[in-house]
Amino acid sequence: MTFTIEVNNTEVLAAFNRLIQTGQDMSPILRSLGEDITLRAKQRFETSTAPDGTPWAPNSDTVLRALLHGNANNFTKKGAVSARGGRALAGKKPLIGDSKDLSTQIFPSVSGDTLTVTASPVYAAMQQFGGTKAEFPNLWGDIPARPFLPVTAAGELYPDEEREILDVLGKALENAVKG
């Protein structure tokens, strides 16, 4: 399953076009932007925050129960949550499983004048934008949006991400003009 969001930010495109007019090879700049965007996306898994700085929704009770019931040592003989189970619950960040699949499968690529940042797991879009059990009956329940990529569902860049990109493009343009 693949989904695509195309970002057409007028300020970013204008800065990009000014750079193109200098005759500079855009591939290194795009690669650098892609690496920066990917790094920031991966860091969001550590902070459990969206690109706008808002905290991600906490794990659901269903996810936490599944975590606990995955190991008998998470319970005492009387069936209460053990100290180990309590530590497991306290340390469980949203979107980070044992394999950290999603956070480790975000990659930039450049082709011509196009930068693509891909999150390869099939469930990446669901985690980015959320979904309801009514929309997707095979879900355990509703999935809240936990944005990690720098774009909204409408294809808009988050303001902080836009500033980061414009800073990189501005510095590249400044260097191109200086020669």
Per-residue pLDDT of 132-160, as tens digits, reads: 888 877 777 788 999 999 998 888 899 99
- Say yes or no: 51 and 69 in one domain: no
- Say yes or no: 160 and 172 in one domain: yes
- Say yes or no: 112 and 127 in one domain: yes
Question: Nearest-CA neighbor of 92 among 58, 124, 62, 123?
Answer: 58
For residue 1, pLDDT beyond 50? no
Q: Into how many domains does the chain fold?
A: 2
73-76: long-range contacts, CB 8 A cutoff, minimum separation 24: none
For residue 5, pLDDT beyond 70? no
The segment with the largest mean pLDDT, out of 28-32, 60-64, 112-116, 137-141, is 28-32
DSSP helix/strand/coil, 53: coil
Question: Nearest-CA neighbor of 110 among 179, 41, 16, 45?
Answer: 16
Q: List the domain range (segments joined by +) for residue 134.
A: 10-57+100-178
Residues 55-84 have a mean pLDDT of 84
Q: Token pair of 12, please?
A: 């970013």
pLDDT classification of 44: cutoffs 50, 70, 90:
very high
- Say yes or no: 124 and 112 in one domain: yes
For residue 2, pLDDT beyond 60? no
What's the confidence (pLDDT) of residue 62?
Answer: 79
Tell me whether residue 118 is in a domain.
Answer: yes
- Say yes or no: 23 and 105 in one domain: yes
Model pTM?
0.81
- Say yes or no: 138 and 174 in one domain: yes
- Say yes or no: 104 and 137 in one domain: yes
Mean pLDDT for the chain overall: 86
